[in-house]
C-alpha cells in the first residue's frame, strides 16, 4: 500500500479493477497520510466520513462490475475555493469560515460522477491572493521537500544526504507555493492522487514547480468555472495537480467540456485527449522566449532550461529564440486588473446574507464596516482599497483602461508567435527553487508575487494553456521545474511534449517508507 499511494492513477485503478485492493482500503490509508502530514497544514477540512462512505459505494460498484472508469475509487482533493455541497468552503478566510454551499462546483461534480473520492478541502492564500499559501486564515502550508516530515515518512533514492534537510518546525522551512499550495502538498504526500487548484496568475503551476508536480492550466474556457469563487473572472482557470502527465490527462478528460452554468465555457463537445504513445517530436517547433531570462533567474533553473532545450534539439525538434516584447508589463498590468476585480467580486461580503458578521454594532453602516474589517485579512483589505482607487471615475481611464490595453498587447505577442509557426514555448515556471518562509515574508506580498509569478502570469493574460513539468532536484533537495505553453485549445500538443520531457528527465519520485509508521 505504501508504494501504491505514491503511484499513478493508472496503477491504482488497475489494482482496484483487478480486485487486488479495494477503494475503501486506499481511502483509509490516504486518511492516515492526511493525519501524518498535519504539521504541513495542507488541508483546511478533512472529509473523512464522506470519503469512507463514497469508497464503500465504489467497493460495491466494482464488486458488481459497474465501474465508472479510471477515477472510480481514486482519492482526490479540492482547493477550498470550490463549492462543495454539505462541506464548508472557506477560501482560507475568516469571512467564509462557516460557509457551507448548497451545490457543487461543476469541476467537483464531474469528478464525483466519475467515482473520485473527496479526501478533503485544501489550504490556500486567502481568496487565492498570493504566491506562497502563507496568507491563509488557517495558517501557512509548508513544503514537504527538504523537511523532517520527508525524512520520517518518505524514501527518495535521488535525494541528497538526509542531514541536509531542514526542520519543518524551525525557521528554515520552505514555502509550498501558491495559492494552491495545499493542493500541491496533498498530492506530493500521497494523501490523494490528484487535486484541483485554481490558476489566475500561476497559482497551479507555481506550487507544482516548488513541490515537484505536474501542474496543468487549461485554456481559459475549456473547464467550467461554475462554483469556483472568483478572483479575476476573465483569468481564473481550474487547474490540475498530479504526479504525472498521464494522470493530468485523466483528470482533464473528466472535468473539461461545455457547461450551461458557465457562459464563458466552450460550446463545442470536448474530445478526450490521448497521449498514450509519445515517440516522435521531430516535427515540432519550440520557442524560447528571450524576455523570460529575467535577472532574478537562478543559475540552477537556467541550467534546467538549457538542458531540456538541448534534449528537444537532440530529438529533432526545432528550437529557436522568440520574443514576447510586452512581458515586462504583465506584472503591473495584472496588479491593476486583479485589484479591480477583487474590489468588485468581494463587495458581496457585507455581513448581510452569508459569511461572517461582526457581533457588536449600532448601525447597518457600522456593521458593514466592522464585518469587512474583521472578516478579511490584511492582504485582501489592501487589494480591495487599491482596486476601489483604480476604479474611481478620475482614475478609471488612466489605470483600468490602460491595463486592459496592455493586456491586449500581451495577448497579441502570443498570437504573433503562434502565427510564426511556433508550436510551443518552453520557459521557466518559477525563477528559483521554493524560497524559505522567512525570506519570502521579508518583502511585502506584492513584491514576492511580482518575482515569483513573472513567468506564469502572461499565460493567464492571453488565456493560453500551460503546464509545469518537474525536471530535477536542486543542491538543496528542492524541485526545479519548467513550463510549456501552447496556442489556445492545443492541449494535445502541450501534454504530448510534457510527457516526452517527463520520460526523458525521470524526475525522482517519493515513496512512503512503511504504512505502519503512520499509525
Catalytic residues: 79, 179, 203
Nearest to 491, CA basis, from 260, 265, 217, 305: 217
Would you give the DSSP letter of residue 186? H
CA-to-CA distance for 460 and 457, rounded, in angstroms?
5
The C-alpha cell 514537504 sits at: 144
E strands in 86-232 = 117-122, 154-155, 194-199, 214-217
CA-to-CA distance for 378 and 190, rounded, in angstroms?
33
CA-to-CA distance for 65 and 495, rounded, in angstroms?
31
**Gyration radius from the chain CA atoms:** 22
Nearest to 196, CA basis, from 89, 337, 353: 89
C-alpha angle 271-276-277 in degrees, rounded to nearest 5: 120
Indicate the burial class of 442 (C-beta count within 10 angstroms; 0-12, 13-18, 19 or more): exposed
CA distance to 216, 278, 280, 391, per residue, from 427 (Å): 15, 21, 21, 34
Amino acid at each position: 500500500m505504501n508504494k501504491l499511494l505514491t503511484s499513478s492513477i493508472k496503477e491504482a485503478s488497475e489494482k482496484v479493477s483487478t480486485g487486488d485492493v479495494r477503494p475503501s482500503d486506499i481511502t483509509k490509508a490516504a486518511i492516515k497520510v492526511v493525519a501524518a502530514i498535519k504539521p504541513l497544514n495542507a488541508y483546511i477540512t478533512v472529509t473523512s466520513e464522506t470519503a469512507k462512505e463514497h469508497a464503500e459505494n465504489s467497493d460495491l460498484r466494482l464488486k458488481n462490475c459497474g465501474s465508472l472508469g479510471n477515477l472510480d475509487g481514486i482519492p482526490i482533493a479540492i482547493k477550498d475555493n470550490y463549492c462543495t455541497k454539505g462541506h464548508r468552503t472557506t477560501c482560507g478566510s475568516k469571512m467564509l469560515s462557516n460557509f457551507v454551499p448548497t451545490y457543487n462546483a461543476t469541476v467537483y461534480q464531474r469528478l464525483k460522477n466519475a467515482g473520485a473520492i473527496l479526501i478533503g478541502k485544501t489550504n490556500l492564500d486567502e481568496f487565492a491572493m498570493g504566491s506562497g499559501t502563507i496568507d491563509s486564515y488557517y495558517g501557512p502550508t509548508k513544503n514537504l521537500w527538504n523537511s523532517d516530515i520527508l525524512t520520517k515518512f518518505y524514501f527518495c533514492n535521488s535525494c541528497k544526504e538526509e542531514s541536509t534537510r531542514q526542520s519543518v518546525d524551525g525557521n528554515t522551512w520552505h514555502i509550498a507555493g501558491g495559492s494552491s499550495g495545499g493542493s500541491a502538498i496533498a498530492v506530493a504526500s500521497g494523501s490523494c492522487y490528484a487535486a484541483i487548484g485554481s490558476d489566475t496568475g500561476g497559482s497551479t503551476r507555481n506550487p507544482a514547480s516548488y513541490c515537484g508536480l505536474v501542474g496543468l492550466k487549461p485554456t481559459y474556457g475549456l473547464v467550467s468555472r461554475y462554483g469556483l469563487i472568483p478572483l479575476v473572472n476573465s483569468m481564473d482557470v481550474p487547474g490540475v495537480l498530479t504526479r504525472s502527465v498521464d494522470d493530468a490527462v485523466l483528470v482533464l478528460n473528466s472535468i473539461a467540456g461545455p457547461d450551461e452554468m458557465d457562459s464563458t465555457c466552450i460550446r463545442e463537445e470536448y474530445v478526450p485527449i490521448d497521449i498514450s504513445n509519445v515517440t516522435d517530436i521531430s516535427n515540432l517547433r519550440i520557442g524560447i522566449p528571450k524576455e523570460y531570462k529575467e535577472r532574478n533567474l537562478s543559475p540552477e533553473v537556467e541550467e534546467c532550461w538549457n538542458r531540456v532545450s538541448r534534449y528537444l534539439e537532440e530529438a529533432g525538434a526545432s528550437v529557436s529564440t522568440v520574443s514576447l516584447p510586452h512581458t515586462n508589463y504583465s506584472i503591473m498590468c495584472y496588479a491593476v486588473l486583479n485589484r479591480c476585480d477583487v474590489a468588485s467580486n468581494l463587495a458581496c461580503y457585507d455581513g448581510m446574507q452569508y459569511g461572517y458578521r461582526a457581533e457588536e454594532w449600532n448601525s447597518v453602516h457600522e456593521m458593514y464596516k466592522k464585518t469587512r474589517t474583521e472578516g478579511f485579512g490584511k492582504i485582501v483589505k489592501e487589494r480591495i482599497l487599491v482596486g476601489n482607487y483604480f476604479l474611481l471615475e478620475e482614475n478609471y481611464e488612466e489605470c483600468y483602461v490602460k491595463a486592459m490595453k496592455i493586456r491586449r498587447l500581451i495577448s497579441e505577442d502570443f498570437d504573433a508567435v503562434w502565427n510564426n509557426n511556433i508550436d510551443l514555448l518552453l520557459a521557466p515556471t518559477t525563477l528559483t527553487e521554493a524560497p524559505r518562509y522567512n525570506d519570502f515574508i521579508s518583502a511585502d506580498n506584492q513584491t514576492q508575487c511580482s518575482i515569483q509569478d513573472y513567468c506564469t502570469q502572461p499565460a493567464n493574460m492571453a488565456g493560453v494553456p500551460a503546464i509545469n513539468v518537474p525536471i530535477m532536484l536542486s543542491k538543496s533537495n528542492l524541485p526545479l521545474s519548467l513550463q510549456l505553453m501552447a496556442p489556445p485549445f492545443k492541449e494535445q500538443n502541450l501534454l504530448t511534449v510534457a510527457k516526452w520531457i517527463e520520460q526523458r528527465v525521470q524526475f525522482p519520485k517519493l515513496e512512503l517508507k512503511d504504512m505502519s509508521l503512520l499509525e
